[in-house]
A and B are shown apart, each in its own frame.
Chain A
Amino acid sequence: MKDLIYTILDLGEAKGISYADVRVVEESLESYEVKDGLVEVAEWKEGYGFGIRVLHDGAWGFACSSSVNKIEMEDALTRALGIAESSGIARGKRIELFPIPTVQNRYHTPMERDPFAISPAEKLSLLIKAEGLMRGKPYISVSQAFMDIYKVRKVFASSEGSYIEQEIVECGAGIAATAAAGNEVQTRSYPNSFRGNFATGGYEFVEGLDLAGNAERTADEAAQLLFALPCPSKVTTLILDSSQLALQIHESIGHPVELDRVLGMEVAYAGTSFLNFEKRGSFRCGSDSVNIIADATIPGGLGTFGYDDEGVKAQRIPILQNGIFLNFLASRETAREVGSQPNGTMRAESWNRIPLIRMTNINLQPGSWRFEDLVADTDDGIYMATNRSWSIDDQRLNFQFGTEVAWEIKKGKMGKMFKNPTYTGITPQFWNACDGVAGEREWRLWGIPNCGKGQPGQVAHVGHGAAPARFRNVRVGVMG
């Protein structure tokens, strides 16, 4: 493979191309779902191909193929060059890349048990056991269990001399119980909605989730929701669980710090950002309690890797420090344009897509509270858990989230359950109203395997670490 790639990069140089990179990507995916006592899905998918990106005369070109051989690579190089030449006719500013050190290295996800080496029967029996504990419980009409495992082996080589081989392994699982009675339908999930929680690592992560140990409680809560009162409509103190907070970070901090959005490259689809370069280093986007770090190096994060798809090493970068906005996520191109540094955040969904700026693990750092103290310290409020829906405007300011469940907090104690909870706010005001973050003990890493961006669309696997946190004066119970 190395010889083949070098032959192509040499050919590019002979054609006078100023920069080229080749990515060869091999992916495997296994996906399982058990529903109402039956195996609903047992799916294996594989993909293999390469992509060549060239920068010629200040313009990008990209071409790819699923046949990895010399003839196809030569052809793709010619096509990529043709696209760069055509793009050059209409280009605005001349694209230049921020210089980076060249790298010869390997990276692989550390793990104990390779999830691909575990038999499908063993994986399914874990799901069937957990699903079986929810099935038949009072009011439960649908019981489901999910598991996904994913592996990508990729080679990145650039005309500058980098050659990086990586093997990244991810897995995760979850359960969901849907209860119905009369006109009411409610779903409760564990450990998270939308198929569960995901991490880089081995099968030990799936086993550690203890789906079976949480199945009955999950089903019971779904049934209780049928008879819960609707979430009241008011302005109150809100405590979020760490999984809902993960999505709050994702939508209102993670996306707005993507520098390509700020520069207008995502306007048509994903939108722009309320942040701009002048706000860097001075804009207060949260209270002193809010410290957020983009960390592609943290063990187990779904956005953890060795190098990004431009060959930039994985990094740990402060995003908000004591509430002050410090850094964007930047590529070699965008960093050069605004005079900052690339920070290892360019990733492509697969061999057939160009890399884009993507979140890594955007983590809210733990605070000094304990969850029970946050509750005990709250006279009147509401605790919401597990995401159900999300929506945020194209500048990432006005958001509204729905969660699966909420509980009233009265005089420092958790009280009655509420169904259909929602809350809404404006990003900087909301984070500025954060007056307490729970500590290390309750801090969890959440994997979000379905972050969408770009045209054509690309899905990225990203992570968020968070502990429960408290927010003052939040509008809850918005229901039309």
Chain B
Amino acid sequence: MEEMIRSTERGIYIHRFHYVNVLAPKRAIITGMTRDGTFLLERGKMTKPLKNLRFTQSILDALSVVSLISKETKLVAPEAEYEIPFLTGSVVPALKIENFHFSGVSETDTSR
């Protein structure tokens, strides 16, 4: 993981996605938001926190431009599906994806 960050000249570190849904199933285009910490990577370092970002991206395209895969893996157990009382999980590495497409940003302060 540290090497993946160190090797990044300019990029975004995403910790978690929120409310991901399918826009176009045939092309596997999905959209969702980042949450719980999104950070700017500059010259191999995590430099600043970012507002939450929306991505709209074909997941097939994203997986075809993976440049690094972490050695470390993590057990990620999302919520069991509603009405399906099984806990499911995936053991997954971190990915470094070139050209991931963000389509929007969340406003955090809407006071007027």
Contacts and interface: CB of A to CB of B under 8 A. Distances in A.
Given A389-B23, A391-B20, A480-B29, A397 B110 contact: yes
A450 interface: yes
B89 interface: no
Given A394-B18, A397-B107, A400-B31, A459 B82 contact: yes
Given A391-B32, A398-B104, 4 more contacts: A391-B20, A400-B104, A402-B24, A480-B29
25 contacts: A185-B25, A185-B26, A271-B18, A388-B23, A391-B32, A392-B19, A395-B106, A397-B107, A397-B108, A398-B33, A398-B52, A398-B104, A400-B23, A400-B56, A426-B107, A426-B110, A427-B110, A428-B110, A452-B82, A459-B83, A478-B31, A478-B103, A478-B104, A480-B23, A480-B103
A460 to B, nearest CB: 10
A391 B33 CA distance: 8
Interface in B58-112: 58, 61, 79-80, 82-83, 101, 103-108, 110-112
Contacts of A397: 106-108, 110
A120 B73 CA distance: 51
B4 interface: no
Contacts of B29: 479-480
Contact of B103 (A424, A427, A452): A424
A422 interface: yes
Interface string B37-60: 000000000000000101011100
A139 interface: no
Contacts of A119: none
Interface residues of A, number: 37
A263 to B, nearest CB: 18
Interface residues of B, number: 34
A264 interface: no
Contact of A274 (B25, B56, B103, B110): B110
Contact of B22 (A184, A389, A392, A395): A389
Interface in A291-307: none
A402 to B, nearest CB: 5
B21 A394 contact: no
Contacts of A392: 19, 33
- Chain A contact surface mostly: mixed
A393 interface: yes
Given A393-B35, A452-B82, A420 B23 contact: yes
A402 B23 contact: yes
Interface string A254-287: 0000000000000001010010000100011000
A390 interface: yes
Contacts of A400: 23, 31, 54, 56, 103-104
Contact of A284 (B32, B54, B106, B112): B112
A457 interface: yes
Nearest to B24: A420
A459 B83 CA distance: 8
Interface string A392-429: 11110110101000000000000000001010101111
B33 A450 contact: no
Contacts of B80: 456-457
A398 B58 contact: no
Given A271-B35, A391-B32, A393-B33, A398 B54 contact: yes
B80 to A, nearest CB: 7
Contact of B54 (A388, A393, A420, A457): A393
A422 B79 CA distance: 27
Contacts of B23: 388-389, 400, 402, 420, 422, 479-480
A428 B108 CA distance: 12
Given A391-B19, A393-B19, A420-B23, A480 B82 contact: no
Contacts of B26: 183-185
Nearest to B81: A457
Contacts of B20: 391
A186 B32 CA distance: 22
